[in-house]
Amino acid sequence: MRVYLGTFGEEEVQRILQELRGAKIRVETKPSLNIRLRGRYFIKGKMDEIKKKYGESELKDMLQKWENYIEYVRDILKEGMEEMDFEKKLILKLMPDYDKEMVEKFFEVIKENKSERMEEFERMVRGMEAEKMKEFLDRFGDAIKIVEGINEMLKLNGVKYEEGKIYGMLPDNPILMLYVEGIDDKKAEELGIEYTFDTYIDRQIDVYANLADIFYESEKLKNLAVKNPEYIELAVLSDVISMIIEKIEGRMEMDEFFEKIMKIEEENHKVFLSPSAAEEIVEMLEKMEVLKVKKGRIWLNERKKT
């Protein structure tokens, strides 16, 4: 029986296959094409033209933000500047003062690419309260999206990105292409805003782990889950199988046994099994000779007891 682990990109899946196979867990993969569609409204033109056309409309606040971003660029950008240094300084401008230590540390980690720097950064993140960490990551993610938009704007205006450095400067009246969020079709039509439609097609891979191996290699799987959260669900499943086995008391009627395992309650943990899922697990355990099923009754195989 296969257990679905998740869907991953081609590079990521190689690491996962190596780790699971290293833990003696058999895996299967199933590739497919993933198609994503995205439609967005946008405005494009010289800055002065856009301000003249939309400066008093619902887009006023968005245009003001971009005027600020452009001023940040003029203050920061220097000919031949390192791309990473430019992006760091932009993010520091975009984020509040109380986030700056974390931002500085993040860029130190990226630039030096040393394990001790990464460990130090991870300790800082783990030391934050869960809610504060989420808020920081949300702000950081928003800042990165803005920086990506700024980079696209610079390229649109002839600025070159070569070998990690930036060459060229922003003109006095730059061309902008801005995506407009949160506007309905009627208002977009009134303002004469254009619409673009993008199609993304990539190859993705579904990964499945062998159910019997999940049970047999429970400890190795739990060790993997400590380091990589994508294995947590498989580790939980190995615990659930153990819980199911513990519900067998002597020679039980199958109906009584299934009634017991449809909903299992442990301390701070509730397990809900569908009948078909329970049957698959029992069938697997029978094939492994962990238990026996005969004439409507179920019991543990004495030879397999530990």
Q: How many angstroms separate the CA atoms of 52 and 59, rounded?
A: 11
**pLDDT at 305 (0 to 100):** 45
Residue 202 · residue 19 · CB < 8 Å: no
Please tell me the pTM assigned to this model.
0.61
Helix%, strand%, coil% for the chain, nearest 5: 55, 25, 20
**pLDDT at 167 (0 to 100):** 95
Give pLDDT tens digits for 12-55: 899 999 999 999 999 999 999 999 999 999 999 999 999 999 98
Task: Answer yes or no: do 62 and 141 share one domain.
Answer: yes
Task: Answer yes or no: do 62 and 161 share one domain.
Answer: yes
Residues of the chain with pLDDT under 70: 112-128, 130, 303-306
Task: Answer yes or no: do 187 and 269 share one domain.
Answer: no
Task: Answer yes or no: do 258 and 190 share one domain.
Answer: no
**pLDDT at 306 (0 to 100):** 46
Tell me the backbone φ, ψ of residue 244, rounded to 5 degrees: -60, -45
**pLDDT at 301 (0 to 100):** 85
Q: Is the dihedral of CA 67, 151, 49, 197 positive or negative?
A: negative
Domain that holds residue 55: 38-198
**pLDDT at 122 (0 to 100):** 65
Residue 31 · residue 208 · CB < 8 Å: no
**pLDDT at 108 (0 to 100):** 76
Task: Answer yes or no: do 138 and 48 share one domain.
Answer: yes
Task: Answer yes or no: do 56 and 193 share one domain.
Answer: yes
- Tokens representing residue 242 in the block: 């153990």
Beta bridge partners of 200: 36
DSSP result, 106-175: HHHHHHH--HHHHHHHHHHHHTS-HHHHHHHHHHHHHHHHHHHHHHHHHHHTT-EEETTEEE----SS-E
- Provide the domain count of the chain: 2
**pLDDT at 117 (0 to 100):** 59
**pLDDT at 116 (0 to 100):** 59
Task: Answer yes or no: do 297 and 173 share one domain.
Answer: no
